[in-house]
Structure 1
Amino acid sequence: MKKSKFLLILTLLAVFAAGCSTTSKSGAGEEAAGEGQDQKLEITIARAFDVNGLDPGFLTENAQVVDNIFDTLVKRDAEEKLVPGLATSWSQIDDTTWQFKLREGVTFTNGEAFNADAVKYSLDRVLDPANNAPTASYVSTIQEVNVVDEYTVNVVTKKPDPLVPTRFNRYPTEIVPPKYAEEVGQEQFAQKPIGTGPYQFVSWDKGSNVVLEANPNYWGGEPDVKKVTFRSIPEASTRVSALLNGEVDLITAVSPEDREKIESSSTARLSTVERAGNTVYVGFKTDVKPFDDPKVRQALNYAIDVKSIVDKVLQGAAVQTNSLIGPKDFGYAGEPEGYSYDPEKAKQLLAEAGYPNGFSATLDTVSWYIKNTDVAQVIAEQLKAVGVNIKVNNVESSVYRTLVPAGKQSDMYVLGWSSTNTLDADAAIYAILRSGESYSTYANKDVDAKLDEARSVTDEAKRKQLYQEIQDEVLKDAPRIFLYQENQYYGVSDRLKWDGRVDGSIPVSTISAGNE
């Protein structure tokens, strides 16, 4: 064969091979991951709501987005065990002092150095009462953070606190760059954040999406996903359609009626994590009539058929519970006996409290929770049966984020809470039961004392006992209508390898390409 003809055949074969190579498209229409090193995995994650801000020290929502931009000193691995993050080690050097040794050679994505000064600055801004950080309660046991040397910090607590390593695993302790944060100010920092995490901020189209790109200099190694877009799609059915149509790759908050659509799909699967969601309840402002009377609060608990709500409205997407603490959390002591469905008992208690003909109230709710409007309407119907007339007020999510921590919500309100990634009773209940905390509408001196004591007790058996006593007292005092803990449901494209976590986080750096 002549050389020119041979070269022509080789060229044609190369062109044909290139033209026939298989590539798939992500939800944003980008090139998916393949076997070639130069191909990029770009994904889109659809959530029910947009972020309200991107400053980890001042969040009023979950940290699914910011967790990918910032790092904590301590992290959790796939088994939820505490492992080194920006700290390589930690130890308790006396009753009230924990020492963290920091990772050297790490920089923020703007080139600013990570060091002990950055750790101190990040904590001080959250602890400063003048800044009114909404999640300060998670770290309020800390008295001060002291710089020992460039890569060593001492965290000094007001009393002994065995949970310090755990506290440094969640977003109020994510580390921010002092110089940049001071230059731009808190408001601007929340719009254009800088961190040391596996992803760096690109853009935020408010109400629509947040775009992040992989940090090529990440100390933990560059992740497989090179670009991620967090889209806001409020309507549950629209999120499912977007997943099944290939417009997005992962969706959160799959509604009960949409689970089967995903399970029967040939392009996606359902990832289920039982009791990994919020513990949802109806809160009362217990310093306001008629909710200042325990008999009224108890009556409303007897008036609600929670089992019917879980079975019929939520279609089994949650677990009825009177527990304040989830089964994955330290301090969980099983399911306590609570309030049975007993409308006649409810009427009797209302009469004893001086409300034989009931009363009227407004119930605030928000779209953060599974079928929130349907649940609120059923609660209103059941309360009407005992003479309590309820107006359901659906509040826009960004407004609700401001109203609730400011105490400006209605006297009855729906709220969900969990331990997030600390997996401890302290995070599950302190912020919503301790008087004076931003999210608490309850005051009980005995409960306050036990909550405070449980934070400083190092003996685990004693801590468990305290949480049992707290739960028993709160159940009797009924500062809320006890409802259920949600399960977490995610829809995941078959092109991805990832499953939901107990802590509810979505660490994009753990996502890789699946087999299509």
Structure 2
Amino acid sequence: MRHRSKAAIALAAACTLALAAACTDSGSSEDPENLSIEQFPRNETLYTTGTAWEPPSDWNPVNPGQATGLNGLGYETLYLFDPNTQELSPWLAESGEWTEDLVFELKLRDGITWSDGEEMTADDVKYTVELGQIEAVPYANVWDWLAGVEVVDDLTVRFTFDEARHQEWDNFLFTTEIVPEHVFAEYSEDEILTGANEDPVVSGPYTVHSYDQDRIAWVKRDDWWATEALDLEVKPTYIVDIVNTSNEVTLNQLIQGEIDLSNNFLPGISDLLEGDPTLSTYYSEAPYMASANTAMLIPNTTIKPLDDPEFRRAMAFAISPGEIVDSVYSGIVSEASPTGLLPIWQDFYDQGAISEAGFQFEPSDAQTILADAGYEDSDGDGFVENLDGEAVSMTLNVPSGWTDWEEASRSIAEDLRDVGINVTEEFIDAGAVDDARTTGDFQLMLNNWSGITNSPWGHYRYLYQLPVQDNQGTANFSRIENEEAWQLTQELAATATDDPHYAEIIAELERISMEEMPAIPIWYNGVWAQSSNQVWTNWPSGDGDTPGVYPSVWNEMFGMGSIYMLTQLESAG
């Protein structure tokens, strides 16, 4: 791997910003290892942006901060998950099945090789899973219900469980990257957890070519296993991911054909689509983007009056999602269901529960709920007091510089003030938001970490995970303690999708979450995807009867089928 000098960085930046977005246009027969980033043939190179916010520095799949493309282009998962069909399909695995109630047997594909020429075997799978026995590994919780892993033969692994948590296991299969034992076994525990793992040995279709402060370059492997096993071939010889700059710069690069795919929010893209046939999005009409996650208002339920579910329900009726969808996002996102569940789970929306406990924008209903619960404006300042007569004044925090969220928070705060709830928006450093969310040192904030996954179980784990810790890292940021909801969530995790009880549990969780509002769903953030057709065409589309995969290089998306995008692209000629 080459990490180039500042002079080379400057040359590469100048070259990428040139009209053709690269210094050469025609194909090259030269060995890719002899080329620097600025010498890549433009018609063989896919330029992406929208994932990385800082220089690439981490090639460790065990560490959540890994470089763009490491998950999917480099390391791969045992299965892929299709959000549109809600089905898993074998990837590195050839097959897998529950052979007994508490036993799952998996067979690897034969002929998978690591990029250093070593064969992938069942030992690699066993080693990867057993890394979870280190407490700080992100998937360590699998060992709360996994009893053991056994290598049956070179390609077969047997998993024995204390409890068969079907939904969590499915999630593990398409989100956990398999690592080479012969490389990682040489690392210390500290290196496994925090090491950079430079020059990664991978199984995927690309290896790291080089990187610098504002980009990482991947180069196509000649011996990727899926070419022979699945008749798949990735089309770009090179993939260069650019660290995010400003929206204006990215938009200009996209229009000029210097960027092929932007996976970041670009304000005004809906207007440009009408006048520029070289640009495309996942849907050809509003909302243009597939839904990626649910943006929700998170109340800190450990403080008054946010500990009162009636106060939280009043807030839900006071907020206008439509205003945010239209004014902030110009129609490229959609209003969230009151359940908070993404549209991919709309078959599980329980209309009875929604009719009974759902909400919609209706300020007069918000004021009625407040009055019925005893919240009054006794001093005439236009804002209700707490039940004990103390003034209520709250702050809604979002990261500064997130312009869409800044505007959304302004709209939310204004709506709440209109019904007598005194809320002021405040923009602070993104790191400070992270710290406040983790420690619980906040009143209100926006968060969208309930995203696409294989089951509504993921959404309810996000809302209700117990126990509440001093530091909440990934879930239950409202710090609500509902033993019934958490028990149902765990029951859902252990229930197979085709079990009739599965939908019943989801319906009950919908009812509970809408009645007590641990978080208030407002809108669906998009799988931001704006594509240029000047160099590459045949981008995935959601139009038609069979929606395509999501056109995204966000790391988690490759395990959801986005790898197929690279095999379906066509040269514009």
TM-score of Structure 1 vs Structure 2, range by shorter chain: 0.7 to 0.9
> Which residue identity is paired with 1:209?
R
Letter in structure 2 aligned against 1:351? Y
Matches within 5 A, 1:113-124: 113-124=119-130
Contact 1:96 1:161 in 2 (8 A): no
The AA in structure 2 aligned to 1:226 is T
Structure 1 residue 60, shift from structure 2 partner: 6.3
Write the letter of the residue equivalent to 2:456: A
Which residue in 1 is equivalent to 2:208? 201
Q: In the alignment, residue 74 of structure 2 is paired with which amino acid?
A: I
- Alignment counterpart, residue 177 of structure 1, candidates 169, 180, 184: 180
User: 1:265 aligned to 2:270?
Assistant: no
Instruction: Tell me the alpha carbon deviations over residues 308-361 of structure 1, each in whole angstroms, 9 at most, x when there is no partner.
Output: 222322222222221232221387325634223324236424717517675233
Identity %: 19
Equivalent runs, 1:199-348 vs 2, <5 Å? 199-205=206-212, 208-221=214-227, 222-272=233-283, 274-320=289-335, 321-329=337-345, 332-333=348-349, 336-337=354-355, 338-340=358-360, 341-342=362-363, 343-345=366-368, 347-348=370-371
Q: Could you tell me which amino acid in structure 2 is paired with residue 92 of structure 1?
A: W
Distance 2:459 2:406 in 1: 24
| 1:447-474 deviations in Å (ceiling 9; x for gaps) | 0110011111235321111011011101
Contact kept in structure 2, 1:278 and 1:418, CA below 8 Å: yes
SS in 1 for 2:326: helix
**Counterpart-to-counterpart distance in 1, 2:250 and 2:142:** 33
Cα offset, 1:42, TM superposition: 0.8
Distance 1:62 1:449 in 2: 36
The structural deviation recorded for 1:66 is 2.0
Task: Return the letter of the residue paired with 2:506.
Answer: Y
User: Superposition RMSD on alpha carbons, in Å?
Assistant: 3.5
- Answer whether contact 1:74 1:83 (CA < 8 A) is retained: yes
Residues 150 and 165 of structure 1: CA distance in aligned 2, closer, same or farther (over 3 Å):
same
Match of 2:446 among 414, 430, 435: 414
Alpha-carbon displacement from aligned partner over 1:362-386 (angstroms, at most 9, x marks no partner): 3232489781111012112222332
- In structure 2, the gaps of 5 or more residues are 1-17, 33-40, 228-232, 377-385, 542-548
CA distance, structure 2, for counterparts of residue 55 and residue 357 of structure 1: 51
Q: Secondary structure of the equivalent of 2:47?
A: strand
**Is the CA contact (8 Å cut-off) linking 2:62 and 2:137 kept in structure 1?**
no
- CA-CA distance at 1:33 after TM superposition: 6.3
Identify if the C-alpha distance between structure 1 residues 42 and 145 changes in structure 2 by more than 3 Å, giving closer, same or farther: same
TM-score (norm 2): 0.75
Q: Is the 8 A contact 1:26 1:42 kept in 2?
A: no
CA displacement, residues 70-118 of structure 1 (integer Å, 9 cap, x when unaligned): 1111124797543221111111111111100112232222344322221
Structure 2 distance, partners of 1:282, 1:327, is 19
Match of 2:88 among 82, 94, 116: 82
1:362 aligns with 2:367: no
1:439 corresponds, among 475, 481, 487, to 475
Are the equivalent residues in 2 in contact too, given 1:31–1:42 (CA < 8 A)?
Answer: no
Q: Check 1:360–1:182 CA distance in 2 against 1; reply closer, same or farther (3 A cut).
A: farther
- Shift of residue 168 of structure 1? 4.3
Summarize the Cα distance change of 1:32–1:78 in structure 2 as closer, same or farther, 3 Å threshold. Answer: farther
Report the Cα distance in structure 1 between the residues aligned to 2:289 and 2:260, rounded to whole angstroms.
Answer: 22
CA 1:510/1:363 → structure 2, altered by over 3 Å: closer, same or farther?
farther
In structure 2, the CA distance between the partners of 1:78 and 1:450, relative to structure 1 (3 Å rule), is closer
Which of residues 457, 460, 463 is equivalent to 2:502?
463
8 A contact 2:104–2:160 mirrored in 1: yes
Would the aligned equivalents of 1:57 and 1:126 in 2 still touch at CA under 8 Å? no
Name 1:374's counterpart in structure 2.
407
What SS is found at the alignment partner of 2:500? helix
Partner in structure 1 of residue 423 of structure 2 = 389
